[in-house]
Amino acid sequence: MEFPQSELLNQLPKQFFANLVAKVNAKIATGADVINLGQGNPDQPTPEYIVKSTQKWVADPQTHKYSLFRGLPAFKQAAADFYHEQYGASFDPEKEVAILGGSKIGLVELPWALMNPGDLFLLPDPGYPDYLSGAALGQVEFKTVPLKAENGFLPDLASIPEADAKQAKFFYLNYPNNPTGAVATKEFYTELVAWARKYHVGIISDFAYGALGYDDEKPTSFMEVPGAKEVGIEFYTYSKTFNMAGWRIAFAVGNADIIEALNLIQDHLFVSLFPALQYAAIDALKAPERDGEIQKLVDRYQSRRDAFLGAAKQIGWQGFVPKGTFYAWMKTPTGMTSEAFADLLLEKVAVAVAPGRGFGKYGEGYVRIGLLISPERLVEAVQRVGKLNLF
């Protein structure tokens, strides 16, 4: 018997980076020493204090039962306290906080929860590819807003067609930005709140890299700006802040209507997170070791960024100096597409990079570099690229 997939599944976007992974694995299979700069998976272990906390909570039989559907009140309170401490923003933990099994779940399920088939939302270009999955599953329409170097990879709100602004229900933004490494300013977010109010558009801030800011500059949270809570929400994940990508722990804060919709759809899809993980998540936010561990992580990424960009400068390879995230956004050689450049590097010098085109039309002309290996290997990768004399 055959069981064909639904029309909905057939409409899902193809995973651009699955093809990249296949190419890298094929190169590795030849015995090549591949330096993989195309990945976005944190390479450091979860801090020991979080691991020990988790071990303690897993051993407690009281955590082996079903969670409350909407998560532990203590976790929601800890999330609200964290935001108040870090960003000066206040939230009602019961009405303005949602617990998530990773921020991807919230970003993809939001169109199901708050939009109807045919509704429109705006997405950044370049942007996180899984935003498109939310559009397909929610059967909604999307239009992209270009992020250009001349604007510091911030959207030019004045250039968004008024018809699109009036029609759109939501606008997804992601700063510090994947893939460019750009950060948003308070001035931009203040302008964004006014724009959102004018056109009645909900703002969805994907703050996945919120802890990773360079040169002693802490990234700005959208929720720091007056009025932000009235017009939108922000997703915060443990994946990057605490090197917990595989643990799938996140939360969202902000507008009570949006939070309620997310909670309601999750009532039907999940029974929240394993309680032991929720208790460990509380400890991650509250432990005295937290700030020191985060600072060590930021310092590590900055040393990698500086080593990579310093080596790139020596071979004439130009790019955008990231102010956050663990990526560098580097230009391709003149006249070469991002995918052709990536293929050439993998084939000739066994260096894997992520083609910018995979992040959208306006990602063309760039490749994304993951700063997720040692400074020495990053420099070696650049030196290999330099041997091709492309710049």
pLDDT tens per residue, range 273-285: 999 999 999 999 9
Tell whether the model's pLDDT for residue 17 goes beyond 90: no
Residue 145 in contact with residue 160, Cβ under 8 Å? yes
Distance, in Å, from the CA atom of 335 to the CA atom of 79, rounded to the nearest integer, reads 48
- Categorize the per-residue pLDDT at 51 as very low, low, confident or very high, splitting at 50, 70 and 90: very high
Whole-number pLDDT of residue 128: 93
- Categorize the per-residue pLDDT at 313 as very low, low, confident or very high, splitting at 50, 70 and 90: very high
Residue 239 in contact with residue 46, Cβ under 8 Å? no
pLDDT tens per residue, range 94-118: 999 999 999 999 999 999 999 999 9
| Nearest residue to 271 via CA among 132, 79, 72, 136 | 72
Whole-number pLDDT of residue 18: 82
Residue 317 phi/psi, 5-degree rounding, is -90, 115
Average pLDDT over residues 26-43: 94
Instruction: Count CB neighbours of 386 within 10 A.
Output: 17
Whole-number pLDDT of residue 284: 98
Distance, in Å, from the CA atom of 297 to the CA atom of 267, rounded to the nearest integer, reads 35
The residue type of 46 is T
The secondary structure of 307-327, three-state, reads HHHHHHHHCCCCEECCCECCE
Helices (H) and strands (E) in the chain, counts: 15, 13
Give the residue extent of every domain in the chain. 7-46+291-386, 65-286
In the chain, what are the helix, strand and coil shares in percent, each to the nearest 5? 50, 15, 35
The residue type of 310 is G
| Domain covering 65-286: architecture | 3-Layer(aba) Sandwich (3.40)
Average pLDDT over residues 42-47: 96
The angle, 0 to 180 degrees and rounded to 10, between the axes of the packed helices 73-87 and 275-286 is 20
Residue 171 in contact with residue 203, Cβ under 8 Å? yes
Residue range 7-46+291-386, CATH number:
3.90.1150.10
Pull the structure tokens for residue 372: 């997720």
Whole-number pLDDT of residue 155: 98
The pLDDT mean for the chain works out to 96
Distance, in Å, from the CA atom of 284 to the CA atom of 50, rounded to the nearest integer, reads 6
The residue type of 273 is L
Specify the pairing of strand 250-254 against strand 97-100.
Answer: antiparallel
Count Cβ atoms within 10 A of the Cβ of residue 373 and give its class: 0-12 exposed, 13-18 middle, 19 or more buried. Answer: middle
Residue 332 phi/psi, 5-degree rounding, is -85, 160
Q: How far separated are the first and last CA of the chain, in Å rounded?
A: 56
- Categorize the per-residue pLDDT at 20 as very low, low, confident or very high, splitting at 50, 70 and 90: confident
Q: Residue 368: which residues within 8 A CB-CB, separation 6 or more? A: 38, 179, 327, 328, 329, 330, 353, 354, 356, 359
pLDDT tens per residue, range 204-260: 999 999 999 999 999 999 999 999 999 999 999 999 999 999 999 999 999 999 999
Distance, in Å, from the CA atom of 92 to the CA atom of 5, rounded to the nearest integer, reads 42
pLDDT tens per residue, range 123-171: 999 999 999 999 999 999 999 999 999 999 999 999 999 999 999 999 9
Whole-number pLDDT of residue 368: 98
Q: Residue 135: which residues within 8 A CB-CB, separation 6 or more? A: 111, 121, 123, 141, 142
- DSSP letter string over 167-181? HEEEEEE-SS-TTT-
Whole-number pLDDT of residue 15: 77
Containing H/E element for 135? helix 131-138
Cα angle 203, 207, 212; round to 5: 150
Tell whether the model's pLDDT for residue 16 goes beyond 80: no
Whole-number pLDDT of residue 385: 98
For residue 227, the number of C-alpha atoms closer than 13 Å in the C-beta half-sphere is 13
Distance, in Å, from the CA atom of 244 to the CA atom of 237, rounded to the nearest integer, reads 9
- Categorize the per-residue pLDDT at 19 as very low, low, confident or very high, splitting at 50, 70 and 90: confident
Count Cβ atoms within 10 A of the Cβ of residue 391 and give its class: 0-12 exposed, 13-18 middle, 19 or more buried. Answer: middle
pLDDT tens per residue, range 326-366: 999 999 999 999 999 999 999 999 999 999 999 999 999 99
